[in-house]
Amino acid sequence: MTHCAHRPSILGGTMIIAGTSIGASMLALPTISAGMWFQWSVLILLLSWAMMLLSSQALLEVNLHYEPGASFHTLVKDTLGPSWSVINGAAVAFVLYILVYAYVSGGGSIVRHSLLVTIGYEPSKLVAGLTFALLLTACVWWSTWIVDRISVIMMGGMVVSFALSMTGMLSEIRAGVLFDMGEGSSGGDSAIFIWGALSTYLTSFCFHASVPSLVKYFGKQPYQINRCLVGGTVIALACYLLWIMACDGTIPRAGFRDVIAAGGNVGDLVKAAGANLNSSLILRMLEAFSSLAVATSFLGAGLGLFDYMADLCKFDDSRAGRTKTTLITFLPPTLGGLLWPDGFLLAIGWAGLAATIWSVIIPAVMLRACRARRPANGFRARGGKAAVPALLIFGIVTAICHTLFVFDILPMYK
């Protein structure tokens, strides 16, 4: 394969992690956080970042006991047995398929909007979604190295558009709005709304399917891979902090009630932000950032699902093998995106519970089993003996909260 001749870069691996993390879930954070508001949002964001980084390092430690190319299916089946393998397989497939579907849906809407703004032509939802899916699917089919290079380019565009939009929004922050005092204040207890937001924050750092892909890409180079994990998640953390600050500082807390009532989608949030800003350039930059965020997330999630399905189905890395893997990976969610083009936010929400299982709980259980049965391999996840119970508590609490959220038992800010 051509891509084997290219030396993997830490920058490229970092961008894959950051690009997989920073996506549609980021755009949902201000809305889901409206109840608890800024101070609690920062606290939960830091907690989620620390725990999700730890769970990815746990997965890396386990992965290093296997040959590069082994994915979740191989790791879980060998470490925990067939029952856990079935649970994990269902959770991983559900999350990745539904995320790829969500990105096809969201990407298609962005293609339509972009063409309408630039050339005055708005294609059908089917044509726009199919165009978006085919272009990015071809990148994953070609090689991981292509995804690496395109992710770097797109992340560069994201940095520029994000910096320009944030510069404008942050310059218009009002302290009374940011801390929910005086101007636009809605009052009331905000801490109670933390529990309903946990799963969305967890999903915002859900890049774990890319860890086996990085091991396959780099080989057994744990410290290089760990630098990608830390660097990518720190980039995501910084972007999330700035984004929440910009939104909470310009859109009054009570103003989010209208966003939530309208369905809580990205367009409603951008519209609410636009009502409090005086620059069309800032809005254009927000739209550009949204487009690139969805595209990079598609590439990251698609690559993780691609490698997972290749390992599960035992397809080789030849062009014929990659073609079969591509069809199994991208055909179902692409068809879903074409048949149900408006399910973007709904899909993101339903991914939360399954993501908690495979990105937190299962890595913790695998780490415990691996450490009990295998000698140390030179790399250990942070936290020592406390790592496993900490991850299990975090995962179980988040799963319970998400279940209560789905059944409208948790109080919601409306």
Tell me whether residue 108 is in a domain: yes
Q: Look up residue 121 and give its DSSP letter.
A: -
* Class of residue 213 by CB neighbours under 10 A (exposed 0-12, middle 13-18, buried 19+): buried
Do the Cβ atoms of 239 and 30 come closer than 8 Å?
no
| Domain region containing 152 | 8-406
- Distance separating alpha carbons of residues 341 and 239, to the nearest angstrom: 28
Tell me whether residue 315 is in a domain: yes
User: How far is CA 157 from each of CA 162, 164, 231, 336, rounded to the nearest angstrom?
Assistant: 8, 11, 18, 28
* DSSP result, 321-378: HHHHHHHHHHHHHHHHHHHSTT-HHHHHHHHHHHHHIIIIIHHHHHHHHHHHHS---S
pTM, whole model, 2 decimals?
0.79
Task: Give the tokens for residue 170.
Answer: 């942050």
How many other CB atoms are there within 10 angstroms of residue 209's CB atom?
27
Tell me whether residue 413 is in a domain: no
Tell me whether residue 3 is in a domain: no
Q: What angle do CA 97, 129, 123 make, to 5 degrees?
A: 170
User: How far is CA 33 from each of CA 87, 198, 236, 256, rounded to the nearest angstrom?
Assistant: 30, 10, 17, 10
- Sign, CA dihedral 248-253-257-258, equals negative
Residue among 356, 364, 396 at smallest CA distance from 80: 364
Residue among 368, 410, 374 at smallest CA distance from 391: 368
Q: How does 16-30 read in b/e, with b if 16+ C-beta sit within 10 Å?
A: bbbbbbbbbbbbbbb
Do the Cβ atoms of 103 and 297 come closer than 8 Å?
yes
Domain CATH number, residue 233: 1.20.1740.10
Q: What is the pLDDT of residue 241?
A: 93
Number of structural domains the chain divides into: 1
Tell me whether residue 2 is in a domain: no
Do the Cβ atoms of 307 and 140 come closer than 8 Å?
no
Place of tokens 């409603």: 268
Tell me whether residue 103 is in a domain: yes
Our measurement of the distance from residue 172's CA atom to the centroid of its chain's CA atoms, rounded to an integer in Å, reads 28
- Distance separating alpha carbons of residues 364 and 356, to the nearest angstrom: 11
Tell me whether residue 202 is in a domain: yes
Q: What is the pLDDT of residue 1?
A: 41
SS3 255: helix
Task: Give the tokens for residue 136.
Answer: 């990015």
- Distance separating alpha carbons of residues 162 and 298, to the nearest angstrom: 18
Q: What angle do CA 248, 254, 257 make, to 5 degrees?
A: 100
Tell me whether residue 169 is in a domain: yes
- Give me the half-sphere count of Cα atoms (radius 13 Å) on the Cβ side of residue 11: 8
Task: Give the tokens for residue 309.
Answer: 């399905």
The one-digit pLDDT tens for each residue of the chain (414 residues) are 444 446 778 888 898 888 778 776 777 788 888 888 888 999 999 999 999 999 999 999 999 888 888 877 788 888 998 898 888 878 878 888 887 887 777 777 767 766 776 676 777 777 777 777 777 778 777 777 777 777 778 878 878 888 888 888 888 888 888 887 754 455 555 788 888 888 889 888 988 878 988 998 888 888 899 999 999 999 999 989 998 998 888 888 888 888 777 666 566 676 777 777 767 788 778 778 877 877 877 787 788 778 778 877 777 777 787 888 888 888 888 887 777 776 666 677 677 778 888 899 999 999 999 888 887 777 888 888 899 999 999 999 998 988 887 787 887 787
Residue among 117, 154, 164, 107 at smallest CA distance from 285: 164
